[in-house]
Structure 1
Amino acid sequence: MPSAPSKLYSDDVSLLVVTLDTNPFFWSTFSVPFSDFLSQVLAFLNSILLLSQLNQLVVIATGCNSCGYVYDSASSKNHVSPTASMPALYSNLLHNLEQFVARDQKLSKPDHDTRGIVPASLLSGSLSMSLCYIQRAFRSGSMHPQPRILCLQGSADGPEQYVAIMNAIFSAQRSTVPIDSCYIGSNNSAFLQQASYITGGIYYKPPQLDGLFQYLSTVFATDLHSRAFLRLPKSVGVDFRASCFCHKQTIDMGYVCSVCLSIFCERHDKCSTCGSVFGQAQKDVTSANSKKRKA
């Protein structure tokens, strides 16, 4: 992963932006309680700050209806108080996370429970917020840590977010910001596989969640400079399937607009994205226009 040494404090100082999946519909059906998952994640986040006093940490909660910042180590509110009984990372993050989950649940639609469908988390929103924060760090001055994104995701992919997620992935690739992915769901995530592959990050699905902290600390705690000297796990395969623009479903084969590259699972006479006319429909329009000119 190329970097800009002139803009860095050091080659091993990191700005880690973590997206934390807090989807209550997923955690209510998952085998591991959210409290156990969060306790191991907090230990990992604390270890990132202990590795270097210059490391920066940002945590973004990813709900099913909204996203929000719940912790920023650069904020003056998160500095450790000498009289505090609990580290600022734990107290402030837990307090903000509790408030976020309560707000996000109020935005949930009442028909989610009745339909029995687990809604996807708003991954596209958390990725966009992560990139916005990183771009702000780029513009804050000539000295900043080396940024990377870590997605702690459990919910299934939301095909309706395909376009927004791919835009975020290509934006991260252009900014040379790797996206690491730790997926704990039952199946693999095609979106996160593509995100890690395109941006040069690491995609890993822990085989045992009881030792999640060990996997996080050995795989995702390493900075970008140290990764060149380590043998980190590589993804066996990447699911490059796309989602159609018409029904928001994952497809293996489809129709692609030659003008704007929109993907459709069914044949259409006209592109719903750019308005281009396809095939026979275009011939019919051309012939109709020629008849009007003759008339």
Structure 2
Amino acid sequence: MASAPSKLYADDVSLVVVLLDTNPFFWSSSSLSFSQFLSHVLAFLNAILTLNQLNQVVVIATGYNSCDYVFDSSSDLNRSFENGRMPVMCSSLLQKLEEFLITDEQLSKEEPEGKIKPSLFSGSLSMALCYIQRVFRSGALHPHPRILCLQGSVDGPEQYVAIMNAIFSAQRSSVPIDSCYIGSQNSAFLQQASYITGGVHHKPQNLDGLFQYLMTIFATDLHSRSFIHLPKPVGVDFRASCFCHKNTIDMGYICSVCLSIFCKHHKKCSTCGSVFGQAQSEAASASDKKRKTPET
């Protein structure tokens, strides 16, 4: 039997890496319960697998202390149950997800005070890119990868550097990052990730119809996206976070050596150690001293 042609892999075979936000502090205050959210997501994942028998789905759980793989449709355990994919996928994913939630909660040293603690989005995004790189190196034929971020918790400004590095790595590897934000306020990190990598960002207005949003917007393979109209980015928030206080700023100071961003003027860069303004002052002092010194 002849192997599948490479055109099939290039056109409509997809590897979808889903980043699932499991932050209990967000879900406890959300209008959509976590169980309802999972029902929408599980139906969406099953639809992706049924659209093409070569499609692959990987789910990474994103907690507030850790992140881990909870489902991989390419594993030997899941391959042996092709006739009952939906029940097996549900049981396998839910079991590993429950184990992850228990482990993630045990890693917490203290309860967050005041605002909701952000999820470890930078970690799950890095894990997704590492998985995709392994797929790239596995052979000449592989499904076309993309990342789908299902996030509800607020952005963590302290993760700004790691997230931007991951975004530029995805752009360099031609891996689109789709994002579906289900929180009350929009996410600047997800907007930038989708805009820079050529993905789709959307914030559903009615969470009760989340499955419809997922199917009509994010189930489309990359080849078919050139034929349909998807939501365009409007008003992308490009604000950065300062490296000193991890706050989102409109204007700041940038180190000319390592491009670190600061909200206030500093005498020395805390990232690379460059001294701001000292080189110019020393050069001026040396010039004045030489001009005042009589030649012999």
Match of 1:261 among 255, 259, 282: 259
- 1:84 to 1:176, Cα distance in 2 relative to 1, 3 A: closer
Confirm whether residue 137 of structure 1 aligns to residue 139 of structure 2. no
* Deviation of 1:116 (Å): 2.5
Whole-Å separation in 1 of the counterparts to 2:248 and 2:282: 32
Instruction: Determine the C-alpha separation between the residues in 2 that align with 1:145 and 1:139.
Output: 12
Aligned-partner residue type, residue 110 of structure 1: E
Seen in structure 2, the aligned counterparts of structure 1 residues 84 and 182 have a Cα distance that, compared at 3 Å, is: closer
Report if the CA contact (8 A) 1:65-1:121 is conserved.
yes
Q: CA deviation at 1:127?
A: 0.5
Q: Secondary structure at the match of 1:150?
A: strand
Task: Please give the per-residue CA displacement for 1:199-222, whole angstroms capped at 9, x wherever unaligned.
Answer: 000000001000000000000000
**C-alpha displacement of 1:81:** 3.7
- Matching residue of 1:173: 171
Q: Aligned partners of 1:194, 1:268: CA distance in 2, in Å?
A: 28
**1:37 and 2:44 aligned:** no
Structure 1 letter corresponding to 2:103: R
Q: Could you list the runs of 5+ residues in structure 1 that have no partner in the other structure?
A: none
CA deviation string 1:159-184 (max 9, x = no partner): 00000000000000000000000000
Counterpart-to-counterpart distance in 2, 1:204 and 1:245? 28
Match of 1:195 among 193, 196, 200: 193
Asked whether the equivalents of residues 19 and 59 of structure 2 are also in contact (C-alpha less than 8 Å), the reply is yes
Gap change, CA 1:201 and 1:247, over 3 Å in 2: same
1:7 deviation in Å? 8.3
In the superposition, the TM-score normalised over structure 2's length comes to: 0.91
Offset at residue 285 of structure 1 (A)? 5.4
The amino acid across from 2:232 in the alignment is: K
The secondary structure found in structure 2 opposite 1:9 is helix
Q: Retained in 2: the 8 A contact 1:8–1:143?
A: no
Distance 1:13 1:86, change over 3 A: closer
Distance 2:215 2:60 in 1: 19
1:109 deviation in Å?
2.5
Instruction: Write the letter of the residue equivalent to 1:270.
Output: K
**Secondary structure of 1:117 counterpart:** coil
Kindly tell me: are residues 83 and 73 of structure 1, through their superposed partners in 2, closer, same or farther at Cα, counting changes over 3 Å? closer
1:101 is aligned with what amino acid? Answer: L
Deviation at 1:32, TM superposition (A): 1.2
Match for residue 9 of structure 1? 9
The residue type equivalent to 1:140 in the other structure is: S
Name the CA distance, whole Å, in 2 between partners of 1:129 and 1:86.
25
**4+ residue segments displaced more than 6 Å:** 82-86, 287-291
Q: What residue number does 2:58 align with? A: 58
Distance (whole Å) between structure 1 residues aligned to residue 11 and residue 84 of structure 2: 33
Cα distance in 2, alignment partners of residues 33 and 101 from structure 1: 15
Residues 276 and 64 of structure 1: is their aligned pair in 2 closer, same or farther, counting only changes over 3 Å? Answer: same
- Residue 227 of structure 2 corresponds to which residue in structure 1? 229
For residues 220 and 146 of structure 1, the distance between their equivalents in structure 2, rounded to whole angstroms, comes to 14
2:74 matched residue in structure 1? 74
**Do 1:79 and 1:88's aligned partners in 2 also have CA atoms closer than 8 Å?**
no
Q: Deviations over 1:72-96 (max 9, x none)?
A: 0000122354897962210100000
Specify the structure having the higher radius of gyration (Cα).
2
TM-score computed with the length of structure 1 as normaliser: 0.91
Q: 1:88 and 2:53 equivalent? A: no
**SS of residue matched to 1:131:** helix
Q: Distance in 1 between matches of 2:204 and 2:225?
A: 19
Counterparts of 2:159 and 2:212, CA distance in 1: 31
Amino acid at match of 2:210: L
**78-87 vs 93-102, which moves further:** 78-87
Match of residue 18 from structure 1? 18
Cα distance in 1 between the residues matched to 2:86 and 2:37: 19
Indicate the residue corresponding to 2:150 in structure 1: 152
The verdict on how the C-alpha distance between 1:82 and 1:256 changes in structure 2, with shifts beyond 3 A counting, is closer
Partner of 1:104: 104
Change (3 A) 1:86 1:287: closer
The residue number in structure 1 matching 2:243 is 245
SS in 2 for 1:32: coil
Shift of 1:108: 1.4
| Aligned residue type for 1:27 | W
Determine helix, strand or coil for the equivalent of 2:59. Answer: strand
SS of 2:9's partner is coil
1:276 to 274, 277, 289: 274
Q: Structure 1: how far apart are the matches of 2:85 and 2:52?
A: 23
1:117 matches 2:112: no
Q: CA offset at residue 282 of structure 1?
A: 3.7
| Deviation of 1:117 (Å) | 2.5
